[in-house]
């Protein structure tokens, strides 16, 4: 059965929003930088939040907000992943969960493997937890990006004690394969290391690609790992604080249960309500429509780049609404984003912030209307030809 793609909201309406995407730059700049999307909320989320506002239901998050049951059902329906409900916990956002886990599984000064180019807060999170970043760049092939297993092995053999995994990967959009994730788990087990997997983009795998939850790869993965995720990227809920932490096995569950109560208390009530509604079966149709829209924009972006920036290098992402584009062939410097914002009036994420592999790159958010995406790339193309 065909799915009708979601339609992005009109830009005049979007400019009434007060979030980072729409308040960082003046109106003449098209904002395609931060990971916010331009669609209406899923109806179940709008309904539950509207009801809460009408009731004045703006107090503290209850001890059992329903997150556990909602996430377990979602993981089973969407990923075929059977999650033990007792191993599901929650906190304010994914990076909060990551840093709290790292604080418990590494000692101060321990090295943590980070696979660059990667979401910039990964670097800060490792440092906040007392660790030292050990960069192991992804391996680029003609067909996509892969975990450099030999590089990870060398880092673990050299004393790194943990791996902070991005699955699917941000910014490349790589949905790591079952084979690579299983091999990573075996390496972690061999060197007595921990894997913490950020899986916030998991629900956004494109047609022809599959998201593989790390903890569901093998018994070994469950024994060495944690997953941290949220509905916030998929359902555009970043301002409503809620994330899920999942323990792979009994030892990991003991760690999560040992957290101070404040870790759970950081969860916002609206975030909990919205995540429960997002993970509910009635939001599946909305998600399918979102994926249809993102799939069309993914293909459109490839066509637009080929037409207007033919020297750009772009591998369409396996998952998500973020595109990692190498524009180093153009004379825009090591960090092209400021030039593009100033000269083309298009705001993109700064490539070098993702690691030195990001020199000459930009990250483009294509979770917008086709018209906005087309206008943005045309502006960039006009600059390139000027």
* CB of 324 closer than 8 Å to CB of 367: no
Is the pLDDT score of 374 beyond 80? yes
Q: Note the pLDDT tens digit of each residue in 326-366.
A: 999 999 999 999 999 999 999 999 999 999 999 999 999 99
Supply 176's token pair: 């790591």
The H-or-E segment that residue 36 falls in is none
Annotate 256-276 with b (16+ C-beta within 10 A) or e (fewer). beebeeebbebbbbbbbbbbb
Q: How confident is the model at residue 174 (pLDDT cuts 50, 70, 90)?
A: very high
DSSP 56-78: T--SPPPS--SHHHHHHHHHHHH
Q: Under 8 Å CB-to-CB from 57, ≥6 apart: which residues?
A: 51, 269
Tens of pLDDT, residue by residue over 259-309, are 999 999 999 999 999 999 999 999 999 999 999 999 999 999 999 999 999
Reply yes or no on whether the pLDDT at 2 is more than 90. Answer: no
| pLDDT number for residue 366 | 98
Asked if the model's pLDDT at residue 32 lies above 80, the reply is: yes
For 170, the enclosing helix (H) or strand (E) is none
Please compute the mean of the pLDDT values over residues 24-45 and round it to a whole number: 98
Is residue 312 a contact partner of residue 305, using CB atoms and an 8 Å limit? yes
**Total number of residues shown for the chain:** 386
Q: What's the CATH architecture for 11-40+284-385?
A: Alpha-Beta Complex (3.90)
Mean pLDDT value of segment 38-46: 98
Q: How far is CA 150 from CA 65, 82, 131, 183, 187, in A?
A: 43, 31, 22, 10, 10
Percent of the chain exceeding pLDDT 70 equals 100
Domain boundaries, the chain: 11-40+284-385, 47-283
Give the model's confidence band at 159: pLDDT under 50 very low, under 70 low, under 90 confident, else very high: very high
CA distance 279 to 70: 5
Which range, of 52-61, 110-119, 136-145, averages the lowest pLDDT? 136-145
Does pTM surpass 0.75?
Answer: yes
* Chain segment 311-320, per-residue pLDDT in tens: 999 999 999 9
Q: How confident is the model at residue 386 (pLDDT cuts 50, 70, 90)?
A: confident
The rounded distance, in Å, linking the Cα atoms of 210 and 5 is 20
Which band of pLDDT confidence, cut at 50, 70 and 90, is reported for residue 237? Answer: very high
Write down the pLDDT at residue 141: 86
Mean pLDDT of 207-221: 97
Examine the pLDDT at 1 and tell me if it is beyond 80.
Answer: no
Question: CATH for 47-283?
Answer: 3.40.640.10
pLDDT exceeds 90 at position 142:
no
Average pLDDT, the chain: 97
pLDDT over 90 percentage in the chain: 98
> Is the bond leading into 156 cis (omega within 30 degrees of zero)?
no
């Amino acid at each position: 059965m065909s799915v009708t793609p979601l339609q992005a909201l009109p830009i005049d309406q979007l400019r009434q929003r007060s979030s980072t995407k729409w308040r960082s730059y003046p109106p003449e700049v098209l904002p395609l930088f931060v990971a916010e999307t331009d669609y209406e909320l899923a109806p179940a989320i709008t309904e539950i939040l509207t009801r809460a506002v009408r009731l004045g239901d703006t107090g503290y998050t209850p001890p059992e907000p329903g997150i556990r049951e909602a996430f377990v059902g979602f993981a089973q329906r969407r990923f075929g992943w059977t999650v033990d409900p007792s191993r599901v916990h929650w906190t304010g956002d994914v990076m909060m969960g990551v840093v709290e886990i790292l604080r418990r599984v590494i000692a101060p000064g321990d090295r943590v493997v980070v696979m660059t180019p990667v979401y910039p807060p990964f670097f800060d999170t490792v440092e906040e937890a007392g660790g030292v970043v050990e960069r192991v760049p992804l391996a680029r092939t003609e067909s996509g990006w892969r975990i450099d297993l030999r590089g990870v092995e060398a880092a673990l053999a050299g004393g790194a004690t943990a791996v902070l995994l991005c699955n699917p990967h941000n910014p490349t959009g790589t949905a790591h394969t079952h084979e690579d994730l299983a091999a990573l788990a075996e390496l972690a087990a061999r060197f007595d290391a921990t894997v913490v997997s950020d899986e916030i983009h998991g629900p956004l795998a494109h047609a022809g690609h599959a998201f593989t939850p790390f903890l569901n790869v093998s018994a070994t993965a469950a024994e060495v790992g944690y997953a941290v995720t949220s509905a916030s990227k998929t359902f555009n809920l970043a301002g409503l604080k809620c994330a899920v932490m999942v323990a792979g096995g009994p030892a990991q569950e003991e760690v999560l249960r040992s957290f101070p109560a404040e870790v759970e208390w950081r969860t916002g009530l609206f975030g909990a309500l919205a995540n429960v509604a997002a993970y509910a079966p009635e939001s599946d149709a909305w998600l399918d429509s979102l994926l249809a829209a993102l799939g069309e924009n993914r293909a459109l972006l490839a066509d637009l780049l080929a037409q207007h920036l033919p020297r750009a290098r772009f591998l369409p992402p396996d998952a998500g609404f973020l595109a990692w584009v190498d524009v180093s062939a153009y004379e825009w410097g090591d960090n092209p984003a400021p030039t593009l914002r100033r000269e083309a009036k298009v705001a993109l994420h700064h490539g070098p912030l993702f690691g030195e592999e990001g020199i000459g790159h930009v990250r483009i958010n294509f979770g917008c209307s086709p018209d906005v995406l087309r206008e943005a790339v045309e502006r960039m193309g006009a600059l390139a030809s000027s």
